[in-house]
Amino acid sequence: MPMRQAPAAFAGRDHDHAACGDDAIASAEAICRERAERLTPLRRRVLELVWRSHEPVGAYDLLAALRKDGRSGAPPTVYRALDFLLEQGFVHRIQSLNAFVGCNHPGESHAGQFLICRRCRSAAELHDAEVSKAVADGAGRIGFRVLSQTVEIAGLCPACQAAEKKR
């Protein structure tokens, strides 16, 4: 079903990012309990940092934030936590930015489409089954079987479009 409202990253100034983060942590905890997986304090903190805003965040930015928290660690520590979060479906990797964003649909099998603003780097996950079907159908026509898909769409978010018009 196509999304009828603006993705959270583009929802406007009155959007409550903290509520999204709280919901993401609660979902992750419930899913981990259900799957008998461990959401360790480090994994939880990395997930909190990813959800701090809806902007993609790089692994080294996460490492710097963890160090500000007083945690010691090396890049492999952050990457192991991110690998776990990716495996569980709690975050997505945006290849073009080499960064991570929280998943709006944790625990659900889905293909991700990401709208990425070229100007401010905000990103929003779009969950459109018709886009996923079009990719799978197109691939199938040439004999290719899709195992997973992530579509990255570059453009300008509403705020950056508005700023552009004011110039």
Distances (CA, A) of 120 to 51, 64, 81, 85, 156: 17, 21, 26, 25, 8
Q: What is the pLDDT of residues 7-25, one digit of tens each?
A: 555 666 666 777 888 999 9
What is the enclosing helix (H) or strand (E) of 5?
none
Extended strands (E) in the chain: 91-94, 99-102, 112-117, 123-126, 150-155
Residues 101 and 122: their CA atoms lie apart, in Å, by: 10
| Domains of the chain, start order | 15-106 (1.10.10.10), 110-167 (3.30.1490.190)
Quickly tell me which residue has 């780097």 as its tokens.
121
Q: Give the three-class secondary structure for 9.
A: helix
Q: Torsions phi, psi of 17, nearest 5?
A: -60, -35
From the centroid of its chain, how far is CA 156? 18
User: Who contacts 133 (Cβ-Cβ below 8 Å, separation ≥6)?
Assistant: none
pTM: 0.83
Task: List per-residue pLDDT tens for the chain, 167 residues long.
Answer: 333 334 555 666 666 777 888 999 999 999 999 999 999 999 999 999 999 877 899 999 999 999 998 887 788 999 999 999 999 999 999 999 999 999 888 877 777 799 999 998 888 888 888 999 999 999 999 999 988 888 999 999 999 999 999 88
